[in-house]
Structure 1
Amino acid sequence: MQAWNYPRWIAHRGAGKLAPENTLAAFRLGASHGYRMFECDAKLSSDGVVFLMHDATLDRTTNGSGVGGERPWHELSQLDAGDWHSRAYAGEPLATLENLARYCRANACLLNIEIKPTPGVEQPTGEVVAREARRLWAGADVPPLLTSFRPEALQGAMQAAPELPRGLLVDTLWDGWFDIARQLQCVAVVANHALWDAATVAQVHGAGMRCLSYTVNDDWAAQRLLALGTDGIITDRVDLFAPD
């Protein structure tokens, strides 16, 4: 198994639910709780800017509406991505991957970039995110980990920047998941935490890959994963778990 340079504890979307997800305010808050690694969601604007957002549509986490990937960045950059969460964050803008890369590199933070493509542009999104990650982390000691539920996105990332580490996200153990992870030369499988058991951990570790879990918000679940010997825990509860 290759060396693993990432911490065990990873803050989900910056600070979980304590701040507006995927905004710089959230990453700053997560860092204030001692977290050194974050997970974020990355997709493309209509003019090819990599920006941070989980949903395909703007409605839940901004004051905009419609499909985010169908809007150019100059429009997306004007949206309020904080007021939906609380008045304290009103006016918080959407972040680009470049914004977050500057913050992470200045503060020695590591990143798990989930490639979250707008439906229909999976492979191109993987390609652009990987190229942008290669540029933004050029010369970094530890590159970002690129993950996705969509194998096509990981295929695009592998073609564009094969040296960047990849991980397959799975919410179920669908037929062929293990073979796909190996074909994509993944360094990790990132699974719904309930999917891990001793046999599955042994299978993934036996192939030289690491076992990561999402989204772990209860102490009993974290203790189970630690006992199984898994390698990474993604959590919303930056206020509950003290990262090691």
Structure 2
Amino acid sequence: MSGLFEHLKATALPSWEAYVDHDYVRRLAAGELPAAAFRFYLVQDYLFLIQFARAQALAVYKSRSLAEMRASKVAMSAILDETDLHVRICAGWGISPEDLERAPEHTATVAYTRFVLDCGMAGDLLDLRTALAPCVIGYAEIGVRIATKVRSRPGHAQSVWVEEYAGEAYQHVAAEARADLDRLADGPLLPARLRQLERIFAQACDLEAAFWQMALDAADEDMGREPR
């Protein structure tokens, strides 16, 4: 096995591709994403990140070494910094900090974030990191995939968002997440344990795809159409 993440990605490839190549992502890259979809996504992603910061705090508790605790602390700090980015981007789309604080969590947001937290509460640090991996590493892959297309369109409405995840700083975060999975796996895993991690990873990918779809459906509703 070349690495745990690559194995998990290969075994969940249909779910992974449905997530990283979702219609939301394709339309964003092409500059065709409805503004209402992106605004709705921004608000929900802000709420999503709050819960993911909690997941990183849980990772500190689940850690069995000081090094793991420090790594989780760094990851939590990165997520909290990401919320600041969201506040700045939201301001450019007419969404105030007060709007963000008042917004209710969508069902898709609740489903995904509580799934991650439950994986961490019921399992160990590897379960938690596996549940987090599609988000942390997937956004890096999406950023790189669509950056060239976005850069070819001057004035692209979501270019700041794309550059954040395609940029060197976030790519480093994703690389560290990959390496962390391999370290936590600590060599070959028993078949039953590996299947358990495969299920967690695939479900997290499906929940990521549902998160994108949530934003598209919200835009459809905003324009008075039935969601797909």
Could you tell me the TM-score, scaled by structure 1's length?
A: 0.28
**Richer in strand (by share):** 1
Structure showing greater relative contact order (alpha-carbon pairs closer than 8 Å, 6 or more residues apart): 2
Could you tell me the TM-score, scaled by structure 2's length?
A: 0.29
**Richer in helix (by share):** 2
